[in-house]
Structure 1
Amino acid sequence: MFKSILHEHNGRKAELRRQGEKTRIAAIKSAEALASTLVEAVDSEVSQAFELEKQLSKEAKEARALAVKFKDQTSGWIAAACRADAVLREFGDAEQYLRVIEGDMRDVARMLQQLNASAAERRRARTGASQPKP
């Protein structure tokens, strides 16, 4: 009787070991599959992040190039506007200068007319004084 109980116990023990070993192997395989799946998921996300980083770098480089181009273009526009402003100022200065000269010339013409009139009066006065009175 003890022998049969011992034999039965050893049989159950062996069966439990086999089941435990199968369960351990299944758990290891499941853990490996889980680890593989997690690594693939992380790798996929890392790969996507890397691709996004490359795309962002490319777009940032393009944006920098456009900013430099825009800065240069804007500088050109500013320089052209400054040149146009200078030309307009010179034109305005020249116009003002011409008005001043025109005013001065009128003053000179008026003075010459006055001098001419004054000289004519003196001549008349001299010629009138040198003639005998009747």
Structure 2
Amino acid sequence: MSSDGRYWPTLTRTGRRRVTAAVADVSRTERLLWLLVAVALVGDLLTTYYGLQMGLSESNPVARAAIETFGFSAMVGLKLFAVGVGLGCRRLLPDRHGLLVPAGLAVPWTGAVLVNLTLYAMVV
């Protein structure tokens, strides 16, 4: 075996890097949806944390058990796990269905932020 790239072409590829190439192939709409996922994720984490500090409780039983057992950092881990699963599933989908994964993450998390903010308005 030599190191000329014949046996390991993905490791010695010239030109665009793998990550850059993957992002370049994503449509503008999908990139905006992934940005919305990031914003919704942070918003959900912040509003959940603030709600817990106000004395509210987490309604998701899995997240509630994780928070009670491991603390709030478990919530961060659950969110990152969900994004990781979403990214893995996105690679398996054809491009025409590519918007489903970020939309499937962004919509419920955005809804959770709105519900949390509504609860704050009712409590205060």
Whichever of the two has the greater Rg, that structure is 1
TM-score (norm 2): 0.23
Q: Which has the higher contact order (CA 8 A, sep 6+)?
A: 2
More helix by share: 1
